[in-house]
Structure 1
Amino acid sequence: MDLRQLEFFSAVAGELNFTRAAERLTIAQSAVSAGVRSLESELGVELFDRSRRQIRLTSTGELLLPRVREALDAVNEVRDVAQQSTQAITGSIVIGLMTSVTLVNVPRLLGLYRSGHPGVGVRLRAARRGSADLVEELASGELDLAFLALSGPVPATLSAVPIASSPMVLVVPAGHPLAASPTVDLAALDGEEFIDLPPGYASRQIVDDAFAAAGVERRVMIEVSDIGTAAEYVTNGLGVALLPEFAAHDALSVRRIPVAHVPDFTVYLAASRKRRASAAVRAFVNLALSGE
């Protein structure tokens, strides 16, 4: 058994797809498949059920995955100690992020990070089901860090620092009866048809919680998975939307109206409290919080 076999197993377990795992590790799929098969042979168990269209972990694989990730973390800790004498940081980090959320200039951060730490490999993973997905992947060890949004207090399982925010605004077509209003109360939106993201996305939860607190029901008629496209549905007269202001900034033929009693959309840089942060992770966090 060697370290690469464990890395292959962890990556495939995170993606539940050999092709995506190979892309994440930037190696050939055949090497990943062979490495996992070799590990299964050495252990005398099957780690993945390959009998279905999408592979999944066997019960043994689910039992071993947390131990494997703990072992990989321990190896990273050994590497960190060894590097303290050279001041050079190596290794890799996996960062989760929300698609179309531009409040944080992630490409700029990555460019600065790569310049300062060329020995660290960085992989990005987009949320598949919003911030709720990122929280789960931090907890499972699939991600080292994530740029995510939250509704309500930070979960006890996370260490999270707010780094950017945007007010929530009502987005309506230019000819809507509320278009000229300087501000809107949630009670005035009773009966409107809404465009929103699916449950699990932080902006959706912020709005759902605000309406529940106000005792006002609302109808979500269209759900879109990309916050960057939601305002376009408003432009085309398909409803109204409550969105972070940045997501509607460039939309045509709409009005953006401040809304009372709806919290801001806030982006956090988050990590799991259960995992020791490697030197590579700490260096990225320091850079992201430095304001450079």
Structure 2
Amino acid sequence: MDTDSLRWFQLVADGMTVTEVAQTYAVSQPGVSRALARLEEQVGTPLLRRSGRLLRLTQAGAAFKRHVDSLVNDLDDGLAAVEQVLDPETGLVSLGFPMSLGTWFVPNVIRDFARVRPRARFALQRTSVGEPGAPSKLLVAGDIDLEITTSRVFHADLEWRRVAIEPLLLCVARDHRLAESTSVDLADVAGEPFIMRRAPSGMRETVLELCAAAGFTPSIAFEVDDLPTVRGFVGAGLGVAVVPALGRRVPTGLGPVRFVPLTDTGAQRDIGLAWLTERRLLPIAEAFRAFILGGGRGSRARSAAH
């Protein structure tokens, strides 16, 4: 079976006339009709029946159509993959990243990459929270090309490189006694309730380590699943929190909360890029990796303390 016959069968089955198919492919109408007739001979049964100007699917045709759709889609994916290999200016980069980087870092670096590779396309995947230091299952399984992480990751089959350092901030309610401070130590809030990310969380582990270095164990009032919820609880006056800067210049406010720089040593987190060492990336994904590792404009985390 030639692929043109299968594509023409798809179009006719989806409601186009033979004349319209012929015009779309710049071939003769009898040529399309003969191709459809040959396809029916190869299958061994009528696939189409005439209904006025249109051809309708027979029962056998409807059963066949589902598999033709799948086959042609797979074929098109294969052709697209070849196109990516042959043309390093285009193609698809599959990229994973955590939610906290989706509001600033990832869109910025993609924007800047698009200035040099405007035809690049991206398939974006949110990576789920796992054990601290562990890469996402998507990357380990090879379902994505590259993963942007918020901490160093370790795995025998992966390589990881730091690409930026993001400051951590103290988040307090706007009426908090430290809300107007230009900087603070964690020891300044040692006796206050903390809003903390639920385990497993690399951010949680970092906060616990920072508190221990400051000489106290935080009193955890609430454990929540994401940063917007952390801010909501802090804004309601239910506690304080340590949060990433997310590209903000501080001190600054956001709704009912205020972000203040921390002076504690280690009050920061790594932003890095990870990939499978044995996986050969297509040229466009390789170009994106080189762009980030080379300090592409959007890949630099802005210091929230300046």
The TM-score range, normalised by the shorter chain, is 0.5 to 0.7
Residues 270-289 of structure 1 correspond to what in structure 2 (within 5 A)?
270-288=274-292, 289=294
The 1:263/1:154 distance shift into structure 2, 3 A limit, reads farther
Are the equivalent residues in 2 in contact too, given 1:232–1:251 (CA < 8 A)?
no
Partner of 2:197: 197
Partner of 1:164: 164
Deviations 1:7-51 (A, max 9, x none): xxxxxxxxxxxxxxxxxxxxxxx77xx88xxxxxxxxxxxxxxxx
Q: CA RMSD in A?
A: 3.9
CA contact (8 A) 2:113 2:288 kept: no
CA separation in 2, counterparts of 1:107 and 1:258? 23
The answer to whether the 8 A contact 2:170-2:259 is kept is: yes
TM-score normalised by structure 1 residue count: 0.59
Report the counterpart of residue 291 of structure 1 in structure 2. 296
The code of the aligned residue for 1:275 comes to R
What is the CA-CA distance between 1:177 and the residue it aligns to? 3.5
Inter-partner Cα distance in structure 2 for 1:272 and 1:199:
26
Q: Is the 8 A contact 1:98 1:131 kept in 2?
A: no
Q: Structure 1 residues 229 and 139, CA, compared in 2 at 3 Å: closer, same or farther?
A: same
1:254 aligns with 2:253: no
CA deviation string 1:87-110 (max 9, x = no partner): 546654321112142341426616
In the alignment, what sits opposite 2:227? 227
> Rg bigger for which structure?
2
Q: 1:233 to 1:281 in 2, by over 3 A?
A: same
Q: 1:256 to 1:147 in 2, by over 3 A?
A: same
Structure 1: stretches of 5+ with no match in the other structure:
1-29, 36-74
How far does the alpha carbon of each residue in 1:135-180 deviate from its partner, in whole angstroms, 9 at most, with x for none? 4432232321112111xx5525442333333311111223333445
Q: 1:107–1:263: structure 2 CA closer, same or farther, 3 Å change rule?
A: closer
Q: Which amino acid aligns with 2:190?
A: D
Aligned twin of 1:147? 148
Q: Which residue of 2 aligns with 1:109?
A: 110
Q: How far, CA to CA, are the matches of 1:126 and 1:183 in structure 2?
A: 33
TM-score (norm 2): 0.56
Query: What is the percent sequence identity of the aligned residues?
Result: 27
Structure 2: segments with no counterpart, 5+ residues: 1-65, 72-77, 298-306
Are residues 239 and 116 of structure 1, via their aligned partners in 2, closer, same or farther at CA, if it must alter by over 3 Å? Answer: same
Q: In the comparison of the two structures, how many residue pairs are matched?
A: 218
